[in-house]
Amino acid sequence: MILPFRNPSRALVLTIAVAAGSAPVHGAAAAASGPFLAHQALYDLSLVKSRGSNSVSDARGRILYNFSGNSCEGYTSEFRQVSELDSGEGKVTLSDLRSSSWEDASGKSYRFKIDTRMNDSASSPVDGIAERVGDHITVKLTQPVKKTFNIDGKIVFPTEQIQHIIAAARDGKSVLEQTVYDGSDNGEKIYNTLTVIGRPIAGDRAPSSPDPSTASDAMKTMTRWPVTVSYYDSDARAKDGEQTPVYAMSFELYENGVSRALVLDYNDFVISGALDKFDVRDSKPCK
């Protein structure tokens, strides 16, 4: 999710994140996790509908995503999104976001660098590293400001989050709650997430809207699940006992970590992310 008015930049990276090889994680997730697929994906973004007072007349863009690595060396992702948001009456916002990250396969360390440009403004870089130390995570930022702080509680990084979702799906669970740190916004944002998992879809069941992933030989036998992840600001207070998510994403998640049929709901409007190109990459085995 990296549209300029929200800037939850890492969330969409998470949605399409994959890992190469088998990633060791904790508990049930480790037992249920299998090999993940390294690939390059190109997504086309388009407006589905607009609602509320902050109307949007059009939204479009593209995302290019690369993933590489293995369970010995960790996992590296490179991501770029160029998007255009039209609010009507000639008000158009153009954003260009570039992101790279590395995550230790055991979930002990996470490095990230995000650079965002909107229209003709200067870039807004976020650069830092998060490390798991005992029962907390220590974050060291070098940009936008030099700062060190701790995050207490059970926190997961992006690839960990995907692994736990797949593990829960394989166990037949329909609901999963996780707290996620992914370097979003100024590097200090933490999100509480609620994941709803639908019934499994067998690999031999043809999708209603095919795309390059469904035509890939590497994907044809893979089970997938309809998944919706809602993101809540951990600092916001609920009103009347309920809290509205900052945004939500729906997608079909394959058991090898690939996601397709994205739908991104920002409350005021909804955007789809259609997979336009999909290439499987060679996985580098552990030495």
82 or 17: whose pLDDT is higher?
Answer: 82
Beta bridge partners of 131: 109, 138
pLDDT higher than 50, residue 283: yes
pLDDT higher than 60, residue 166: yes
Most confident of the ranges 28-37, 107-116, 241-250: 107-116
Q: How far apart are CA 68 and CA 161, in angstroms?
A: 17
> What's the full length of the chain, in residues?
287
Q: How far apart are CA 171 and CA 82, in angstroms?
A: 37
Kindly indicate the confidence band of residue 35, based on its pLDDT and cuts at 50, 70 and 90: low
39 or 285: whose pLDDT is higher?
Answer: 39
End-to-end CA distance of the chain: 35
Taking the complete model, does pTM exceed 0.85, yes or no? no
